[in-house]
């Protein structure tokens, strides 16, 4: 339940702290006193949009903090632990901060969280039903939510959602595969042409291009290369006074002068080693020279091969044989997939049909559960609503098949009402007055309150449009709901206000510079004053005070 609410620097509120209690908590106050401001602040805890205009003083942030007792809420504990939110077994504290610049921060048990996650936690703790939400009863989504709550369909809906998502994924995969096949068939002839051209190249070695280019450059410059080789050979051994010949002379001379040389220097042997090395180099040069025979046919063949490779590289906007090989293999796979597309599509179609069958089976289970719950709910709603002055109310919950499968099943649900004996059943939006809708919504909330697994529910003037004995009965209904969960009711009706176990008054207080909203919990005598004021406008009126005391005693 909601234990306390702290609001600071928000609209007309500089700072208030309220402690709430279990049972029925009543909030009253004159129009414009600030009740809606408090509710607006609390709505920020539920993920409402932050508005910088609500920041009272521009030099500091607005803070709204609500503390809930949630020790007996295992699903909330699971949610917090799954999102790495600190869990306190005694309290769950939600906080929203709005900076003057408009930046918003959210916290759950002092753990920073996205606003969406704050809302997800808050919606498991409190339900705020305001006046404009009375129109929810006309909306199909709300009507379905009510019936599913009555039926206890949470597990069935989760199961169906799983099957429905699987069906959507299978259908999407089939659709994409068909589109891919269609596009591939349109391009099949060109794809085969591209593949044939690449296959004709018979590419296998990524280094082939580099080797061919090196060989082409060599053959193109063959004359210059052979002249260079010949010059090198002549310098080593091919002419008088060549390097090897001079080394022969040096070797003979060193042998003659060996006696004069330092034995450790080993000059003759070193000269002989140099002569042998040069002879080996000369042999290598001679072999290279012999291998370079000019062959115009080889050069032409290399040029043709490189031209074919370059043409395909330009066509496919790549610059290597490795990339061409990758494109060739990709084209081959595409054509292979196209050749096998009928088999692949047939398999995807079977998957989609199987997924649809499972989704339809789960939707059928939901439909059966909803039809049973719809009958029970219609009877319950008439039973709860008749004491609120709707003696001739007739209700029918129509569960019909929708045109297509959806995430919620294959049902369309419509609440049909007749409020007078001679009135045909029709949708509530065209059949009910504002007061009748208010009473219907309260009756619905009273039926589903226990099943909602909510610690707290807040009614914001749900009793609008009623008075007298009906107002008294609405108060009794709120009191009945409050025996199982905490109820906080904002009301203008003394008959409802008298039913509260705890009564708070919202009022304005002026100082020299500004107006402030305040709230206080009323004592027993103060409650008499407030009810007398609500009854007659004069808290000192003896008749009004007697009526107020009678309401409280009753």
Cα 443 from Cα 64, distance rounded (Å): 31
pLDDT at 229 > cutoff 80: no
Read off the pLDDT band of 273 (50, 70, 90). confident
Q: Which whole number is the average pLDDT over 24-53?
A: 85
517: closest CA among 35, 97, 12?
12
- Tokens representing 353 are 């049909």
Average pLDDT of span 121-144: 80
Q: With 80 as the cut, is the pLDDT of residue 212 above it?
A: yes
DSSP helix/strand/coil, 63: strand
Q: Where are the alpha helices (DSSP H) in 221-266?
A: 222-233, 243-256
Share of the chain above pLDDT 70, in %: 94
Measure the CA angle with vertex 489, ends 397 and 386; round to 5°. Answer: 35
Rg, C-alpha atoms of the chain: 46
Who has greater pLDDT, 513 or 465? Answer: 513
Q: How far apart are CA 75 and CA 123, in angstroms?
A: 12
Q: Please, which pLDDT band fits residue 495 given cuts at 50, 70 and 90? A: very high
* pLDDT reading at 353 higher than 60: yes
Q: What span, in angstroms and rounded, lies between the C-alpha atoms of 402 and 413?
A: 9
What is the per-residue burial (b if ≥16 Cβ within 10 Å, else e) of 284-313?
A: ebbeebeeeeeeeeebeebeeebeebeebb
Which pTM was predicted?
A: 0.65
Q: What is the mean pLDDT of residues 389-399?
A: 89
Please determine, for residue 435, whether its predicted confidence score (pLDDT) is greater than 80: no
For helices 267-291 and 243-256, the axis angle rounded to 10 degrees is 160
How large is the angle between the packed helices 434-448 and 140-151, nearest 10 degrees?
30
User: Two tokens at 39?
Assistant: 């509710």
Q: Of 473, 203, 220, 207, whose CA–CA distance to 328 is shortest?
A: 203
- φ/ψ of 461, rounded to 5, equals 55, 45
Average pLDDT over residues 251-279: 77
pLDDT at 506: 92
**533-543: average pLDDT:** 89
Residues 398-426: pLDDT tens digits?
Answer: 999 999 999 999 999 999 998 888 888 88
Sign of the dihedral defined by the CA atoms of residues 230, 233, 235, 239, in that order: negative
Average pLDDT over residues 105-131: 87
* pLDDT above 90 for 499: yes
CB 547 within 8 A of CB 532: yes
Highest mean pLDDT among 42-46, 166-170, 202-206: 166-170
At 443, the pLDDT band (50, 70, 90 cuts) reads confident
Q: How many CB atoms lie within 10 A of CB 35?
A: 23
pLDDT for res 277: 82
Looking at every residue in the chain, the average pLDDT score rounds to 85
| Alpha-helical runs (H) found in 317-402 | 321-339, 341-385
In the predicted structure, residue 177 carries a pLDDT above the cut 70: yes
Average pLDDT over residues 388-406: 90
Q: From the CB of residue 6, how many other CB atoms can be counted at a distance below 10 Å?
A: 16
Q: Is the pLDDT of residue 227 over 80?
A: no
- Range of lowest pLDDT (226-230, 332-336, 353-357, 546-550): 226-230
Please check the confidence at residue 134 and state whether its pLDDT lies above 70.
Answer: no
H/E stretch holding 95 reads strand 92-98
pLDDT at 294: 56
* Residue in 303, 302, 308 with CA at minimum distance from that of residue 198: 308
At 431 the pLDDT is 61
Q: What is the mean pLDDT of residues 431-443?
A: 77
Question: What does the alpha-carbon distance between residue 434 and residue 442 come to, in Å, rounded to a whole number?
Answer: 12
pLDDT bucket at 215, cuts 50 / 70 / 90: confident
The region that residue 152 occupies, defined by phi over 0 for left and psi between -120 and 50 for alpha, beta otherwise, is left
Q: Residue 290's pLDDT is what? A: 72
- The H or E element containing residue 9 is strand 2-10
CA distance 430 to 212: 87
Cα 392 off chain centre by: 47
Query: Residue 181 above 90 pLDDT?
Result: no
Closest by Cα among 50, 35, 33 to 5: 35
Q: What are the pLDDT digits (tens) for 42-65?
A: 888 888 887 777 787 777 888 999
Neighbours of 319 (CB within 10 A): 12
Instruction: Answer yes or no: is pLDDT of 479 > 80.
Output: yes
Q: Give the pLDDT confidence score for residue 223 in this predicted structure.
A: 63
Which of 49-58, 267-276, 371-380, 426-435 has the highest mean predicted lDDT (pLDDT)?
371-380
Residue 227: count other Cβ atoms within 10 Å of its Cβ.
Answer: 11
Question: Longest C-alpha distance within the chain, in Å?
Answer: 152
Query: Residue 128 forms beta bridges with which residues?
Result: 458
| Distance from C-alpha of 316 to C-alpha of 320, rounded to nearest angstrom | 10
pLDDT at 19: 94
pLDDT at 408: 93
Give 226: exposed, middle or buried? Use CB within 10 Å, 0-12, 13-18, 19+.
middle
Distance CA 371, CA 156 (A): 14
Q: Read off the tokens for 82.
A: 């799954």
How would residue 373 be classed by pLDDT, with cut points 50, 70 and 90?
very high
**What is the Cα–Cα distance from 79 to 496, expressed in whole angstroms?**
36
Which of residues 296 and 368 earns the better pLDDT score? 368
Q: Which helix (H) or strand (E) holds 478?
A: helix 468-481
- Closest to 547 (Cα-Cα) out of 538, 251, 139: 538
């Amino acid at each position: 339940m909601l234990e306390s609410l702290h609001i600071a620097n928000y609209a007309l509120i500089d700072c208030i702290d309220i402690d709430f209690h279990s049972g029925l908590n009543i909030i009253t106050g004159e129009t414009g006193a600030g009740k809606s401001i408090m509710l607006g602040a609390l709505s920020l805890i539920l993920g409402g949009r932050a508005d910088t205009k609500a920041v009272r003083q521009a030099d500091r942030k607005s803070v709204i903090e609500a503390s809930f007792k949630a020790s007996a809420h295992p699903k909330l504990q699971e949610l917090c632990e799954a999102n790495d939110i600190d869990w306190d077994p005694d309290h769950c504290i939600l906080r929203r901060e709005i900076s003057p610049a408009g930046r918003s921060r959210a916290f759950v048990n002092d753990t920073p969280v996205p606003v969406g996650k704050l809302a997800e936690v808050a919606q498991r703790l409190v339900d705020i039903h305001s006046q404009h939400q009375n129109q929810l009863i006309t909306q199909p989504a709300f009507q379905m939510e009510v019936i599913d709550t009555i039926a206890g369909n949470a597990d069935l809906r989760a199961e169906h959602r799983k099957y429905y998502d699987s069906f959507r994924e299978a259908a999407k995969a089939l659709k994409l595969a068909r589109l891919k096949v269609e596009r591939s068939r349109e391009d099949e002839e060109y794809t085969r042409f591209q593949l044939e051209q690449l296959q004709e190249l018979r590419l296998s070695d990524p280094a082939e291009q580099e080797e061919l280019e090196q060989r082409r450059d060599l053959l193109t410059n063959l004359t210059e290369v052979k002249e260079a080789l010949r010059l090198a050979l002549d310098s080593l051994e091919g002419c008088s006074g060549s390097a090897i010949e001079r080394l022969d002379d040096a070797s003979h001379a060193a042998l003659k002068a060996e006696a004069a040389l330092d034995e450790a220097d080993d000059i003759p042997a070193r000269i002989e080693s140099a002569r042998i090395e040069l002879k080996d180099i000369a042999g290598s040069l001679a072999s290279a020279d012999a291998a370079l025979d000019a062959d115009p046919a080889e050069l032409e063949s290399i040029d043709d091969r490189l031209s074919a490779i370059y043409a395909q590289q330009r066509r496919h906007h790549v610059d290597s044989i490795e990339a061409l090989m990758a494109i060739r293999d990709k084209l081959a796979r595409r054509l292979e997939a196209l050749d096998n597309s009928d088999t692949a599509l047939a398999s995807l179609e079977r998957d989609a049909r199987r997924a649809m069958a499972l989704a339809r089976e789960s939707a059928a289970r939901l439909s059966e559960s909803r039809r049973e719950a719809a009958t029970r709910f219609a009877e319950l709603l008439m039973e709860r609503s008749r004491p609120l002055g709707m003696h001739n109310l007739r209700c029918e919950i129509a569960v019909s098949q929708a045109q297509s499968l959806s995430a919620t099943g294959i049902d369309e649900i419509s609440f049909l009402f007749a409020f007078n004996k001679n009135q045909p059943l029709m949708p509530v939006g065209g059949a009910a007055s504002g007061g009748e809708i208010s009473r219907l919504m309260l009756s619905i909330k009273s039926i589903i309150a226990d099943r909602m697994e909510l610690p707290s529910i807040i009614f914001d003037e749900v009793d609008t449009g009623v008075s007298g004995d009906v107002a008294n009965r609405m108060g009794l209904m709120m009191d009945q709901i409050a025996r199982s969960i905490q109820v906080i009711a904002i009301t203008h009706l003394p008959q409802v206000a008298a039913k509260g176990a705890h009564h708070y008054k919202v009022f304005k207080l002026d100082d020299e510079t500004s107006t402030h909203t305040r709230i206080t919990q009323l004592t027993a005598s103060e409650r008499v004053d407030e009810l007398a004021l609500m009854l007659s406008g004069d808290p000192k009126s003896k008749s009004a005070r007697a009526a107020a005391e009678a309401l409280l005693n009753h």
